[in-house]
Structure 1
Amino acid sequence: MRTLNLFLKRTIDILGSLIGVIIISPILIIIALSIKLTSKGPVFFKQKRIGKNGTVFKILKFRTMVVNAEQIGSGLFVKTENDNRITKIGKLLRATSLDELPQLWNVVIGDMSLVGPRPPVPHHPYKYADYSDFQRKRFEMKPGMTGLTQVTVRNSVSWDERIPVDVEYVEKFNIWLDIKILFKTIQKLFKRESIYTHNNSKVSGKPSKY
């Protein structure tokens, strides 16, 4: 049954991401032009993340910050929307999560899924080898654009507290759970919530939201 669910999951990933790209292509073009015309630097931001079974891949996002922002100020972390490294168009993209849309390409090529645990950067908060056997279970499935954590606790708890939620998703995975998470994600798009981490020592798997 799990094999069938995984097959259906990949089918939905491919069809959903390809259809999504086609439908929203005008929006993607407008965003790309807005970024290019309002700030210096590339349209897209690439960053290494830990994927399934510890494999490292490059996640793709619309650039929302100045070039080389990781080497400026708070580095990986963006604690408030008033961070002066964020571009004007970047504030809008981050608030609406539109900066995440290029990850549809990550889904198409198989690095990611529409639903799954969010992928952390390789060196923070832990290296892959430093996760316990229990914590490593979250890497048994492809990372997702959204997930159980994103529709429940999101950034309200520390990274360590999110891991059990991710593990729960991996253990209880079925295609209907994915569909429920996708619908809840759509609902949350219409609710403005903080995308910034609270004061936790072990912070988000997407700490910078670049």
Structure 2
Amino acid sequence: MNTLRHRSTLLAVAGTALALSLTACQSDADTKSAPAATSSATGKAADGTGTSASGSKGSTDSTGPAESTDADGAAGSAGEQATASTPVCTAGDVTVTAATQDGPPYTHLVLTAKNTSRHSCRLTGFPHVQFLESHKQDVEAVAKSKPAAPVVLAAGAPAYALVKLSDGGVDEDNEPVSAFSVMLEGDSTVIAVTAPASDGVAVDPAKALTGYWTPELRNGADDF
């Protein structure tokens, strides 16, 4: 009798162990068949911005396009708005050079002011030219050469001004000039400009004239 009871106990224990083993195997199989959870979920940071799994923050507000800016960093489109915010060119912004036009006789020079800065600037008015130490007044400007719109120079862009030296006559009171001074509108800095010819140019102070700065030389307005 004791032997039979002992066998019954062993069978019961063995059955329980087998059931536990089957349950464990089934649980393990279910776990392996389930899809893995993604690690790129986006959560909310305390300041309201989105935070990715890598820890970087991004804006959660995607409504509306970003405001455009021009080359100067000013908001808005290019044109009048950009022109109004563009600073006036100074002597430190440009390099001024001179070249003869036509000739000989060389009766006119073309001044070129190139924007050598890294930003746009407005080149206003006309070059204030003085050729001779004996004539300290600026060369008179020709009103008809004034452009209709402000001259705005992008970085690296040039502007031009035509300058009359003389009428080209042999009987004029011409004086040789190897270098002369130029000042920009609104800037008292003197820019020394070398005359283009190796032996200088002949200038009649009574006949000298200058045009306004323009993006290009124009027939008619620049004929003087």
TM-score higher than 0.5 here?
no
Normalising by structure 2, what TM-score? 0.20
- Structure with bigger strand share is 2
- Structure with bigger helix share is 1
> RCO (CA 8 Å, sep 6+): is it higher in 1 or 2?
1
